[in-house]
Amino acid sequence: MPIPFSAQVINMCAALLLLIAFAMLSQRRVLSLINLFALQGLILAVSTTVVAYSSNQHHLYYSAALTLLLKAIVLPVILYKLIHKLDIRWDVETMFNIPTIMLVGLLLVVFSFNLAAPISQMAGTITKSTLGIAMATVLLSFLMMITRSKAVPQVIGFLAMENGLFFAATSATYGMPMVVEMGIALDVLIGMFILGIFFFQIRTAFDSLDLAHMEKLKED
């Protein structure tokens, strides 16, 4: 039985999201991380639009528009302004070397596919085959967040993890109720403003965004 064109597009978007997650995992430059995050938001919006069209779930069109506006435009612009004001261009410090992190990432992908296999068989959505990729994207973003020593890449990792969770929700159940999505979007936006203030406070106090300084302060 041939795979519908809409399912092929969704699978391609899922594959691109996974590739972007790996690219973010190996990326050292903060500006490139923001670009990848914006691209991730764009692909997520395209995937959600295709799911809305193929499944006749009209509320997903609003989700796609919200995703495009917030994650592909608003949040990247806020992050661009933050790194410009903080004069950040590179994040060269990771807790482990990049090859080791990538190897752990591959193991997480294998784990995600095995974990999602029984769930995908029970799901009745056209996107059930992408659930493993969605879970892998979440875990890879979490890995990026915990292996970076600077605050800004950790925040980008957290936002990318939220993208993966949204894609997982779309894959498993055609998304969350619109009220919930609006609430999450508002929380994320407010959180970004609070984190921006937090970044400036760290830079003023320590002249660096390395969170190791916070650990030293805790020890003292």
User: 108 near 143, Cβ under 8 Å?
Assistant: yes
Average pLDDT estimate for 17-36: 89
DSSP 72: I
Q: Is the pLDDT of residue 220 over 70?
A: no
Q: Is the pLDDT of residue 138 over 80?
A: yes
User: pLDDT tens-digit profile of 57-89?
Assistant: 787 888 888 888 888 888 888 888 878 777 766
Average pLDDT estimate for 122-129: 61
Give strand ranges (E) for the chain.
none
148 φ, ψ (degrees, to nearest 5): -100, 145
Rounded Cα distance between 117 and 148, Å, is: 30
pTM for this entry = 0.79
Q: Is the pLDDT of residue 184 over 80?
A: no
Within 10 angstroms of residue 201's Cβ, the number of other Cβ atoms is 10
Residue % of the chain over a pLDDT of 90: 14
> Given CA atoms 9, 137, 103, 101 in this order, what sign does their dihedral have?
positive
Average pLDDT estimate for 131-137: 87
Of the candidates 108, 35, 31, 110, which has an alpha carbon nearest to the alpha carbon of residue 73?
Answer: 35
Structure-model confidence comparison of residues 209 and 170, the more confident one: 170
